[in-house]
Amino acid sequence: MKAKELSSFCMQIAFLLGAGLSIDTALLVLAEDAERQGDKALFTSMSEDVEVGIPLADTMAKAGQFPDYLIQMTRVGQQTGNLEIIMESLSNYYEKESSLAQTIKNALTYPLIMVTMLMVVLFVLLTKVMPVFEEVYRQLGAQLSPITKSAVQIGTIFSGAVIVVILLLLLLAAGVMVSSRKGKGQLWAEHVLQVMKEKSGIAGTLAKRRLSAVLAISLKSGLEIESGMGLALALVSQKKLQDKLLICKEQIERGESLYDSLKKADIFSGLDMQMIKVGVRSGKADAIFDKLAKKYEEEVDTSIDNMILRFEPTMVVILASVVGLILLSVMMPLVGIMASIG
């Protein structure tokens, strides 16, 4: 399932449980309301399993449509009697994941369009316009300089190759989107999100957002902090942060407090650590981590927006410069011819 669908599933389960329905009945309600036949069959099968005594978490694992984190937190919710609260928290978590994936999708779509337009303009200019000028100069007894000819050849090959790559990427994205609609994968934006969590400049902020959200849900559900750290290790993909979390988890297992362990691991900044310190002392650490998750989410959104704002004028300058240089190289021989005629 995609993040948005997981959010909807968790929210509906939380709402139905809050209304006093049993889990198997809640799943039957979901089956009746499902629009796709695959979802109807899935929820009906899960309801039948729960009705005969199989825990919801095991039923979700058997279905093969739910991520490990959701399954583990569902098991914790059933064991602690906080399934409704955890499902509501998980709904918010996956809603933010879906929102972030959509933001990244929008951020990548605009630059892709700009680059495509730039390459198409260059390709047409080099393959259609330049040969016309070259033929005109040949008839006038002049010719383009060897440097200009070489630049035209290189530019034609480069722009053509980029266009081919862009078309292949578009076909790949379309294939991923089609497969995701058939339940075989996530949307391409969510795959890109996974890559950005490991590779991009905002990977650290993304990882901290996920870590804060996981710790908030874990503490809210009454889960031991060691187990919460274990879940965070499984969900945070950035290697650097994983190493720090391992150190933090080991220190907690030795009897260190959450605040001291996080401080020694140097995961959060000084101001954030002060917030965590206040939260731990007041018994509201879950609320503090929830606020930190929202803060990091806003920072990610701001970083992406700034990236887009910088990209647009950069592409305009590059396009204007390249076209200007090409026109200049074409017009110079014409100026020489006109001067000789005069």
The pair of three-digit structure tokens given for residue 23, joined into one six-digit string: 């889990």
Can you tell me the mean pLDDT for 6-29?
Answer: 89
**Residue 21 above 70 pLDDT?**
yes
Quote the CA–CA distance of 172 and 192 in Å, as a whole number: 12
pLDDT, tens digit (0-9, with 9 covering 90-100), for 91-123: 888 887 787 777 777 767 777 777 777 777 777
Give the three-state DSSP class for 177.
Answer: helix
Q: Note the pLDDT tens digit of each residue in 73-94.
A: 788 778 777 788 888 888 888 8
Pull the structure tokens for residue 192. Answer: 């890109």
pLDDT band at 186 (very low <50, low <70, confident <90, very high): very low
- Distance CA(342)–CA(339), nearest Å, equals 5
Window from 44-53, 199-208, 268-277 with minimum mean pLDDT? 199-208
Q: All domains of the chain, ordered by start, with CATH?
A: 3-96 (1.20.81.30)
Least confident of 67-76, 78-87, 325-334: 325-334
Residues 6+ apart with CB under 8 A from 333: 137, 142, 143, 144, 145
Asked whether the predicted pLDDT for residue 143 surpasses 70, the reply is no
